[in-house]
Structure 1
Amino acid sequence: MTQSHTRLAGVAAHLPETTLSTAELEDRLAERNPTLDLPRGLIHEHSGVRRRHIALPHEKPSDLAAHAARRVLEDNDLRAADLDLLIYAGVSSDAVEPATGHIVAAKIGACCPVFDVRNACNSVLNAIQVADALISAGRHRRVLVCCGELPTAGTPWTVASAEEYVTVAASYTVSDAGAALLLEAGSEPGVLAHRFSAYSAGWQAAVSAVDNLTTDPWAGRPTIGPLVVDSAGLVRGIENIDYAVFHKPLADLGLTWDDFAAVCVHQATLPTLWWFCDQVRIPQGKVVVTIAQHGNLVAATLLVQLARVVGSGRVRRGDLVALVGLASGASAGIVVVRW
C-alpha cells in the first residue's frame, strides 16, 4: 500500500441539553448531607466551573459518542458504511468487555473494524496518533475517532465528612459529553506532528477506582468510584514531564504559538490551565476556554474545543491548531494539525 497523508475531514461535539450549575450542585449536596457543614463556593473557587452538562438518565457513553459520530458523518455527507475503522477513545465505557467501540459501531450502523484506546484525558490524542500512523501507512483511508464521557455517573452525592468532601471535590467539576473526529487519507498533510511523554511514577495523584463498577452494565447508568485527586501530587507529576514534548514539535516545524489560530488545551481547572499556559508560554488569547461553562469534559475536551472554534469560524480551512493534552498518569502530549 502507498503512503499518504492524514487530513482532518470533520469534527463534531454533543453536549447534553440538561445542565447543572455549581450553585445547584451545592444545594443538592446540602440536602443529601444535612448533618455536614459543607463549605459553599469551594468548587468554583478552586476550579472555575460554573456549570456542567448532565446526560439523560438512560444514556450511556456509547450513546453520547454515537450522537457526535452521526453528526460528523452527516456534515460530511457520509454513511457509517463508508468508515474503514472506528476508534473509541473515551475514559468512560459502557462495559469492561466488549470494547465500547463495538457498541458505538452497532448504534450508528458501522461494519468496519473497531478498537478502544484509553489513556485518561489523553485518550483522544493517542487515538489520533494511532489513526495517523495507520492512514499514513496506507492501512486505512477513513477513520472515525470518537468518545463519550459520562463522568457525572461517579458523582459522590453523600460524603462522610467535610474532609472527604475536599478529597473528592474533583468529581464535582466533571461534565458529560460526546465528540467525534473524522480523519481521511489526503494529498496534503493535516496531522503535522505529534509527541507524547509520561511521568508514570505519579499515577497515584488522580485515581477513579473501579471497585464500584456495576456487575450488570446494562441496568441503569454505569457507576464508577469518585475521582480522588491529590492536587499537589498531580501538579508535581506535570512538573516532572519534560516540557520539550510541547516545544520540540513546534521547533521542528518552524512554528511558534503565535502561528496558531487556536490552541486547545485540556482543562481540569481554570487556575491550573493558566498556570500551565504560563509554564509553556502559551498566549492566553490563543486558548479556547471551556472549563467555566462546560466543566471538565475529560477526554472529549479537546475535540469539543476544536468543534467550537471551527463552528464559530475562528478556525478556517488551512489554519493551524495545536491540541495540547494533560492527563492523570501523568502524561502529556501535543498534536499539531492544519485544519
Structure 2
Amino acid sequence: MLEAPRARLTAVAVHLPSRYRTMEEIRAGIAAAGSPYVPPPGLLQDVTGVRGVHVREEGECSSDLAVSAARKALADAGTAIGDVDLLLYAATCQDMFEPATSHLVAAKLGATCPVFDVTNACNSVLNAMEVASAFIATRRYRTVLIACGETGTMVTRWHVPDREALMRAMPGYTVSDAGAALLLTAGPAGQDDPGVLALRFAADSTAWNACTVSGGGSMHPRAFDDEHMTIRLNGDLLRTTAVEGLPFLRQAAERELEAVRASSFIAFHQIGMPQYQEMVDRLPLPADRCMPAVAEHGNCAAASLPLQLVKALETDRIEPGDTVAMIGLASGMSFGLALVRW
C-alpha cells in the first residue's frame, strides 16, 4: 500500500498596506468623530502595547489584499496559477455575502480550479491548512493555494459614548488590514521529510458571545448601530477570549504543546501585548522562540500566523529542517495547533 503524501508548505507570503495608522492617530479620529468620550493621550498604546496598524487604500477589498499576497507566494515557489488544483479563501473578512470571496480571488488571479471559502474567524487560515492537508493526503489535490485578505479596520469604533464602550471596543483599535497566502504541495512523508506533521483542533462553542461583530447576519440583518457593526467584548473587560481559553487549550492539546515548546519557532495569534505576554507565561512558551509581531503590526486576524512566519524567515529564525509551531485562537471560541517541518 502506498504511503499517503504529506502536505508541504512550499511558500508563505504576506502583503501589508503601506498606510499606517498610529494609536495617537486613532485617538484623533475618535475625537474628530465628535465622541462624548475621548481617551487621554497614550491610553490606547498603554492598554494594548500596539504602536499602530496597517490600513488598506480607499476602495481596496479583502480579495485585493489576498491576491497581492497570493502572487508573492506563487512567484516565490515558481508555480504558475494554472498549476493550482484548489484555491481556498480563508479569512475573517469577505468582499460580499454572495458569491464566496474565493471566486473573486480566483478571477483576479486567472485561476480556473475549484474554489471555496473556509471561515472560522482568526483561525480561518489554520483551518484551511487542515482542509488542504486532508485533500493532499487523500490525493484529491496536489497543489492547494490558501489566500487570506483581512480588512479588520472596518470594525473599528470611532464614536465612543463612554469609557466602558471604549474598553469593549478595544480589540477594534489593534486590528490591521493585511493579505496572506500559503502554497501547499504534495510531497513524500518520510521520517525526515518536510511538511505538516501534526494538526489539532478544539472548540468551546458555549463562549461564542464573548467577542462579536453581530451586524449584517440574520440576527441583525440591517444593523447600523455601532454596538452591532464594530467589534465588541461582551464579557469580563479585564480578560480576553484568548486568555480565558488557555486552560481549555492546555487540556485539549497537552501532548502537542510539549512538541510546540520544543519547536525552533512558535507563532501564535496575537491581539495585543498583554495577551501575548500571558500566552508566553501561562502555556508556558520559550520567549526567545516567539515573536511579538502585534506590537508593530497590530492584530492581523487570520493573517497573523503567516505574518510571523514571513518575519521569522526574513530574519533567518527558521532554517530548512526546523520544526515550526503555529497556535491559533479565535472567537467562537476555537483553538488550533499545527506542527510543520520546514
Answer whether TM exceeds 0.5 for this pair.
yes
Distance 1:26 1:250 in 2: 39
Q: Deviations over 1:30-88 (max 9, x none)?
A: 22226434333232122111110000011000000000000111111221111000111
> Quick check: 139-148 or 228-237, which moved more?
228-237
The residue number in structure 1 matching 2:267 is: 264
Asked if 1:315 corresponds to 2:318, the answer is yes
User: How far apart, CA to CA, are the structure 1 residues paired with 2:252 and 2:306?
Assistant: 20
SS at 1:16 equivalent: coil
Pair 1:104–1:314, CA change in 2 (3 A): same
- Residues in 1 aligned to 2:296 and 2:99: alpha-carbon distance in whole angstroms: 33
2:243–2:279 CA contact under 8 A, matched in 1: no
Question: Which residue identity does 1:241 align to in structure 2?
Answer: F
Gap change, CA 1:82 and 1:62, over 3 Å in 2: same
Q: Give the distance between the partners of 1:140 and 1:289, measured in 2 at CA.
A: 35
The alpha-carbon deviation at position 212 of structure 1 amounts to: 8.7
Aligned residue identity for 1:261: S
Q: Distance in 1 between matches of 2:7 and 2:20?
A: 36
Relative distance call for 1:236 and 1:8 in structure 2 (3 A) is closer
> Can you list the C-alpha shifts for 1:136-194, whole angstroms capped at 9, x where unaligned?
11110000111000010122222233332222121111000000000000013410001
Q: Which range is displaced more, 165-174 or 90-99?
A: 165-174
Give structure 2 stretches of 5+ with no counterpart: 222-227
State the distance in 1 between where 2:23 and 2:308 align.
21
* In structure 2, C-alpha distance between the alignment counterparts of 1:287 and 1:332, rounded to whole Å: 18
Q: Shift of the alpha carbon at 1:240? A: 5.0
Q: Residue type matched to 1:228 in 2? A: R
Which consecutive aligned stretches of 4+ in structure 1 deviate over 4 angstroms post-superposition?
A: none
Greater shift in the superposed pair: 237-246 or 276-285: 237-246
Matches of residues 155-170 of structure 1 in structure 2 within 5 Å? 155-170=156-171
Aligned length: 328
Structure 1 residue 244, shift from structure 2 partner: 3.8
- One-letter code of the match for 2:337? I
> Partner residue of 2:195?
190
List aligned pairs for 1:68-79, cutoff 5 A: 68-79=69-80
> Residue 204 of structure 1: SS of its match in structure 2?
coil
Give percent identity, aligned residues only. Answer: 40
1:154 corresponds to: 155
Please, which runs of 5 or more residues in structure 1 have no aligned partner? Answer: 216-223
Partner of 2:144: 143
TM-score by length of 1: 0.91
2:214 to 209, 214, 220: 209
Q: 1:256 to 1:167 in 2, by over 3 A?
A: closer
Contact 1:87 1:143 in 2 (8 A): yes
Matched with 1:243 is 250
Paired residue secondary structure (1:243): helix
TM-score (normalizing by structure 2): 0.90
